[in-house]
Amino acid sequence: MKVGIVGVGAVGSSIAAALVHRGTARHIVLVDTDHARARGTARDLGHAAALHTPTRLQPGDPDDLAGAHVVIVTAGTNERAGGATDRTDPAGRLRLLDRNADVYRDAIPRIATAAPTATVVVVTDPPDPLADLARHLLGHDRVLSTGTLIDTLRFRAHLATALDVAAADVHAQVIGEHGTTQVPLWSTAAIGGVPLPAAAHRAGHDPDDLRTRVDAAVRHANIDIIDDIGASRFGIAAAVADLTRTIGRDEHRITCVASHQPDYGTTLSLPSVVGARGVLRTLHPPLDAAEQAALDRSAAALRDATAPLLT
């Protein structure tokens, strides 16, 4: 499988490394306006080739994306550089939208010309409105954003740590916006099939206190990581590598990623069946009244943010 990565900063280079270590792609093209960065990243990762499944790493231009099965877009300004690290700011990642939309208006038409049949994965923040813009510019629906995939993994990880169980045995999802209006689905969260309140009680936790602590940890996880190391890169890189494998192998796995939802008039995350053409269909989990209201608010915030991009 040939994979293109457009934007080879902290996140893009980490995704490339994750793809190499997992042996997901046979050919990876690294595209960046800083050609030296793309070239150096390809050289550095290429030195590990003898330890992994053979992978060709190529620094290149958008034209070199021709024939790519998947194109991953990480280009743009990150949260620290874009002033989007205030935990009290209701806009959150949406602060980055205007400047990163300009990046997409330049990059996406080039991707469309070079790789018209590729499935495009939007990672740049804020990914959901940018996926809607990319869909508009590409003229097809093989576009998804990573959406709340990383938020869902963080939700499971924090619950697993609190309850001292393996994260793989935590069943919990975050839907809606990858941002301040995200919606953790507490009503259906379970540990090994046991509803979360019962599992929390048995582990000696007050469910309401656990919910308060975990919700804050998940909602602000990205900023906490940025405060410590400057960029959130390793978790999202592993998630994108896994998603790329799902697309490349047409696995029809269910994961929380974002695609355009006509019922909501915007791109947002729901549990989605993912295959070679991106999101094949979405599932609508049961929501309690508060969760449905929160999802409606999340959709409204995304519609308001996206509308100016498409006029």
3-class secondary structure for the chain? CEEEEECCCHHHHHHHHHHHHHCCCCEEEEECCCHHHHHHHHHHHHCCHHHCCCCEEEEECHHHHCCCCEEEECCCCCCCCCCCCCCCCCCHHHHHHHHHHHHHHHHHHHHHHHCCCCEEEECCCCHHHHHHHHHHHHCCCCEEECCCHHHHHHHHHHHHHHHCCCHHHEECCEEECCCCCCEECCCCCEECCEEHHHHHHHCCCCHHHHHHHHHHHHHCHHHHHHHHHCCCCHHHHHHHHHHHHHHHCCCCEEEEEEEEECCCCEEEEEEEEEECCEEEEECCCCCCHHHHHHHHHHHHHHHHHHHHHHC
The answer to whether 269 and 240 are in contact (CB under 8 A) is no
52 in catalytic set? no
Query: Which of these is catalytic: 27, 35, 47, 178?
Result: 178
d(CA 162, CA 172): 14
Q: Which of 289, 292, 305 is nearest to 263 (CA)?
A: 292
Q: Which residues are catalytic?
A: 178
